[in-house]
Structure 1
Amino acid sequence: MAISELDLPTGVLAHSLSNADQQARLLADRVAQALQFAIHADGQASLLVSGGKSPIAFFEYLAQKELDWAQVTISLTDERWVPPEHPDSNEGLVRRHLLQHQAAVAQFVSLYYPAPTLEESAHKAEQVLQVLPKKPDVVVLGMGSDGHTASLFPGSPLLYQALNPECALRCLPMQAPSEPRQRISLTYPFLASAPVQYLAIQGHGKFLALSRALQAYSVQMPVHAFLHHPLEIYWCP
């Protein structure tokens, strides 16, 4: 089983790695190179990363790369609506594993803001996200076995809006099928505007999910919307 067996769209590059450590090391190398290129070209760079347990090793390798991290702004593709000290917080994960070592001086833009409702918190996040460039430089996505990426979940009430290429918002409140259900996700047009996009997945289950996503509609498996150039996929068993 290898990614090369899949009928990927033209321009989508795919890499099959032998294990999770090799995947994390190679992805950290590629992200660091892309950030360095952006810093050299524009004097600054922006990076959007996904949460969950899978990226921890990637974060720790990336944090040790020698870059002008003071010129890098980091944010998330999505966030659970919980404070950073909560064990489910993606921000907390990034602060513990990425904003360390060399990367400790990078700027971080949070997606979580206390508010009476999730919708009000997402509105605040939308305002704060305006500090990011119109197009992020590098996006690192993950994928669930249901085909969700970021917090773009099948069946979420605002999924159609979030996937609409004409959506002018950078983030929207979303609903997940599992706890914590309340999420904030960046939208498809903002994520897909990045010139460098990576999708990191692990395990045979995710391989099969990706195979299904290639044949699905985006509302059925939202990762489908991202399966086009300039995406690069990094998979390991």
Structure 2
Amino acid sequence: MALALWARSPAPVVLAVGFPGALALLSPMRNNPAFSFWTVLTVAGTMGFWLLSGSGLEPAVVALLVVAALAGVFFFGAVRGQSKLRLFLTLLAVFAMLVGYFSSGYGGAGPMLRWLLAHGYTYPEARGITMAIRKTIHFTFYGTVAWTTLQAAREVTDRPWVAVRTALLAAASLAAFDELRQSGYANRTGNTSDVLLDLSGAVVFVGLSEWRRRKGR
């Protein structure tokens, strides 16, 4: 089932092309061998966790996670001496894998809604609280993705606008992957409004970081 959803969805293409592609616009990143290993780590790992969330430890899942682990070993070896870049790129890979897992049926609103109902909240109250929490998580998470990408970009370029562009494109591509993947599940919905909310978080986090950078000059 998970493999069928994977094959029918444009989400893997968005992830494989869009997320690493945003960082590949930085020529120092594109020409860094570590970036190739990071791309394999991120894409294989995210696809592995995607399939794991739907089908368990099938051979395809194991193969993808093994590829991701090997790429991770080579990636860490290639960025030795670049501790900040290693940290920020590792965080981005982890963020992508979290999206790969929780954009499945496991990430739906049902568990939180049922928990609130079991603790005495009416359905309208529980639904409102659930929506507020989930929207806050969306805003904050993709703001953090954009901020982390911005820090990684600053490690390889001294052009502020290029770093900002990279951060926003990376957040947008991961958000699009998230919503496209959700649209394949009966208990999830892929909403354009959520992508816009995610981008709002990215713009706010990046904007505040740029404001602080300029203020500190």
Give the TM-score of the pair, scaled to structure 1: 0.31
Give the strand-richer structure, 1 or 2. 1
Give the helix-richer structure, 1 or 2. 2
Query: Of the two, which has the highest radius of gyration?
Result: 2
Give the TM-score of the pair, scaled to structure 2: 0.33
